[in-house]
Amino acid sequence: MDFSEKDSVDAVLASFADTPDPRLHEIVDGLVRHLHGFLREVRPSIAEWEQGIEFLTAIGQKCDEHRQEFILFSDVMGASMLVETMEAERQAGGASGATGERADATASTVLGPFHVVASPERALGDTIDSLGTGEPCLIEGSVTAPDGTRIPGARIDVWQADEQGSYDVESGGRQPLGNGRGLFTADDEGRFWFSSIVPAHYPIPTDGPVGALLRATKRHPYRPAHVHFIVEAPGYVPVTTHVFVEGSEYLDSDAVFAVKQSLVRDFATVDDAEAAARHGLPNPFRRARFDVVLQPAAA
């Protein structure tokens, strides 16, 4: 039978019919049906198909050990947040509300493309900023279960941009690798604290094909100021999330759709000479509190 627009999906699905892994079978079938549906809807010319191939090729070619253009593409298309949201729903056993939030646990959000350098292990109270050019801040919190049980020894991996909105890996050597990053272990009462600088809002990288897409579609590339967190502990569902800086620009138009109101925190100015001295900070300083609640893993 000749290949035809009407029968294209059936022909390709048949070619995958013997896929042994049922999940892989489901995924390739869905991909074929939606890809063909997309092509029948937009009816690309050969020249446009070539442009599409060149775009995806450029995304791959832009990737290296410090640059993840495919995650960036997923992020600006809202795909990362959709997967993240569905994952949270799955982890909650489908028992959560329409928002996909785990009812009791800290909301998750995108990993983003900058978790590409292992965070240096640091002691509680250390600073993650070695340059001292930004506004000093203290970030503190606790890690607990939904019933308030404290989780000693929880691991808290943090990374953030500096006051100019750059991560270490994209600063062109201005920041040493590992700056703005830290891996902390909560104390016996599940508490953590470290100092840093208040991060700035920033544009996602625009020097690649994703930037070209944003320009062609008149979208801005900015993300509101935030600190990334991954918090994990044995027996609990890990959470990948951010703390957003209250009052930051772009909280209502994040280029990657990652803002959740429950993750916005006041980075308040504190005038407390004793606390400043205790934490090795100048007075006054900024302080934010982020208490993390982890869902117990299914038995």
Residue nearest to Fe ion (CB): 112
Among 71, 80, 112, 154, binds Fe ion (CB under 5 A): 112
Cβ of residue 71: shortest distance to Fe ion, in angstroms? Answer: 11
Which CB atom, from 71 or from 281, has the smaller least distance to Fe ion? Answer: 71
Cα–Cα distance between 36 and 241 in angstroms, integer? 35
Stretch that binds Fe ion, among 21-29, 90-98, 104-112, 134-142 (CB under 5 A): 104-112
Which CB atom, from 112 or from 134, has the smaller least distance to Fe ion? Answer: 112
Which CB atom, from 128 or from 281, has the smaller least distance to Fe ion? Answer: 128
Cβ of residue 94: shortest distance to Fe ion, in angstroms? Answer: 29
Which CB atom, from 112 or from 211, has the smaller least distance to Fe ion? Answer: 112
Residue linked to tokens 């056993």 = 93
What is the identity of the amino acid at 156?
I
Q: Does 113 bind Fe ion (CB under 5 A)?
A: no
Cα–Cα distance between 144 and 148 in angstroms, integer? 5
Cβ of residue 275: shortest distance to Fe ion, in angstroms? Answer: 28
Which CB atom, from 112 or from 208, has the smaller least distance to Fe ion? Answer: 112
Cα–Cα distance between 205 and 165 in angstroms, integer? 11
Cβ of residue 227: shortest distance to Fe ion, in angstroms? Answer: 8
Cβ of residue 220: shortest distance to Fe ion, in angstroms? Answer: 16
Cα–Cα distance between 76 and 211 in angstroms, integer? 10
Cβ of residue 226: shortest distance to Fe ion, in angstroms? Answer: 6
Cβ of residue 253: shortest distance to Fe ion, in angstroms? Answer: 15
* Residues touching Fe ion, count (CB under 5 A): 1
Which CB atom, from 71 or from 138, has the smaller least distance to Fe ion? Answer: 71
Stretch that binds Fe ion, among 112-120, 214-222, 232-240, 252-260 (CB under 5 A): 112-120
Residues engaged in binding Fe ion (CB under 5 A):
112
